[in-house]
Structure 1
Amino acid sequence: MKTPLVALLTVLCLGLGGAGFAGQARAMGSDSTAPAAKVDSYKEAVKLIDKEQYAKAIPLLQASIKEKGEYADALNQLGYANRKLGNWVPAMEYYLKALKLEPDHLGANEYLGELYLDQKDLAGAEGQLAKLKAACGDCDEFEELEESIADYKQENAIN
């Protein structure tokens, strides 16, 4: 049984966690950079990614890295934009760079798992799922990758 304080904190976290995502696809994964520390080019790139304008987002993300140096959120977004454009080699490179900087970056771990599924590497995707489980338990990124793996297994008739 939860104490009243734990119950209140749970409600607050759930309520705040969904704020800003209503009616919007969550295409970007988790950011680890505080909002105030994000450069304008990064913020604009994320808006473009949310509109599925991946090719337009890439130069803005690269500009944010030139301005700020390499950081996991921008590298993760570069991986995501490239993956969505079918550019798997650079996508892999960006995800791995992001994870080298922040091994527990939730978005990069989730999206690397999805890239593995794109490449028909179920074992790789399941490895990323295990990393997410260790990093965050049953967080959104874990649940989304778990669902993607289940869909992959169903589509490919894998038990």
Structure 2
Amino acid sequence: MKRILLTAAVASAILSTGLSRAADTPGSNPSVRSPSVAERIAAARKALDAKEHSRAMRELQVAVREDPRNADIHNLLGYTYRTQPQPNLVKSIEHYQTGLKIDPKHRGLHEYIGQAYLMDKKPAEAEKHLVELEALCGNKTCEEYQELSKALVAYRAKNGG
């Protein structure tokens, strides 16, 4: 009888101090917790690799609500809008510009906004970002500069300009 009373007293003390948690309380069960921003970005990249733009967009939209000042998220959102089957260049460029306001030295953003401007038939705008990449890289050998430079050459060859 003493043991039952002692057990009841301990249980009561635990419950009254808030040390007990419901099984569905966020954080009490690792399978219930929501993914972190980094996990959402990783899931979005995986979805983009699989050409699953809708899934990537869902992950990125949650991530940007949780961390709106993350230039990498805006870069991936811009990329997703630009590379989906029906590109949305207005939204793409909007996210690239937001990302560049957050991190003006983000080389990936400069490359990708340049690509978006080429898709939008604005090579002069793309050229500005190529010049910026040269300054950021300190030369013309970084990957982002090389990729945008190749895209500009191909654009000019195709469009005569």
User: How high is the TM-score relative to the length of structure 1?
Assistant: 0.73
> 2:57 aligned with 1:53, yes or no?
no
Mapped partners of 2:74, 2:68: distance in 1 = 10
Return the letter of the residue paired with 2:125: G
Output the CA distance in 1 between the equivalents of 2:38 and 2:115. 27
Amino acid in the other structure paired with 1:61:
L
Q: What are the superposed Cα offsets for residues 44-67 of structure 1, whole Å, 9 maximum, x if unpaired?
A: 001111222222201101112223
Higher relative contact order (CA 8 A, sep 6+): 1
Q: What is residue 77 of structure 2 aligned with on the other side? A: 78
Once the two structures are superposed, what CA deviation does each residue of 1:18-55 show, in whole Å capped at 9, x if it has no partner?
A: xxxxxxxxxxxxxxxxxxx9621111001111222222
Figure out how many residues of one structure are paired with residues of the other and give that number. Answer: 122
- Residues 125-157 of structure 1, C-alpha deviations (whole Å, 9 max, x = no match): 100100110111321000000000000011112
* Unaligned segments of structure 1, at least 5 residues: 1-36
Over the matched positions of the two proteins, sequence identity in percent amounts to: 34
Which 5+ residue runs of structure 2 have no aligned equivalent?
Answer: 1-35
Rounded to whole Å, the distance in 2 between the matches of 1:38 and 1:59 is 12
One-letter amino acid of the counterpart of residue 62, structure 2: A
Match of 1:44 in 2: 43
Residues in 2 aligned to 1:123 and 1:67: alpha-carbon distance in whole angstroms = 35
TM-score of the two chains, using structure 2 as the length reference? 0.72
Q: Which has the larger radius of gyration?
A: 2
Aligned to 1:156: 159
* Aligned counterpart, 2:19: none
Counterpart amino acid of 1:145?
Answer: L
Distance (Å, rounded) in 1 between the aligned partners of 2:67 and 2:102 = 14
Confirm or deny: 8 A CA contact 2:133 2:145 kept in the other structure.
yes
CA root-mean-square deviation: 1.4
Change (3 A) 1:96 1:70: same
Distance 2:135 2:37 in 1: 27
- 2:143 corresponds in structure 1 to 140
Take 1:146 and 1:55, find their aligned partners in 2: how far apart are those partners?
A: 30
Give yes or no for the alignment of 1:127 onto 2:128.
Answer: yes
